Structure 1
Amino acid sequence: MSKFFIQGRKQLNGEIKIGGAKNAVLPILAATIMNGGENVLFDCPNLSDVHAMIQILEAIGCKVDFQNAVLTVDSSTLSSHEIPEHLVREMRSSIFLMGPMLARCGKIKISYPGG
């Protein structure tokens, strides 16, 4: 882990950009199902697991746009409680969909996650 050691009595100021993390974005993406509206996430990593979750959201009827690390999910068009098996098998994080789908639809059909 990186550390900054600062010595002296001068006042510090400035900014440090913290990159988005896959392990934070995936549960948030699953949670976008619950509000039934538009969600905007900034600084999303462009990784295969993120794209797999996008495919799942699109497969169940959500509208998704991902440009320049900004991810917009509109879950108002959710139309299915069945998660396609071939998409679930791509990653373990697909299990995050269970809670939001149960909360929104009252049911879910999902296979064992892969990854």
Structure 2
Amino acid sequence: MKRRSVQSIEDFYMNLGYKGEKLRKALESDKELKNILAMKKAKLSKKAKATKTEKKKYVLATDQDFEILQKCKMLEKKRLIPADKTAVRLILTQLKPEWRKDLVIELDTLIRKYK
């Protein structure tokens, strides 16, 4: 049996009329999609170096995610000015599953600063 792509699996459910939360739940329960994503993540993990903690903390699903992580780690080792440190921390939050929460916190900090 030919293995389908992630996009073809998503298209399959969308053609059945799944949208929004219903689509997300259908995709989360699809065994073939889970297998594809697990294999892809294992392949990426071998290629790029990330600690166990980083793998738990961040969603590292694409080559770009690993590239962002590696560049942020490289920058964290440099002597950055406070604004650049904040930028690197904010960029790293985009790799977290709940990235919006960190954006709201950062925005709240700025709002308080400029009241």
Pairwise TM-score range, normalised by the shorter structure: under 0.3
Query: TM-score, normalized by length of structure 1?
Result: 0.24
Higher relative contact order (CA 8 A, sep 6+): 1
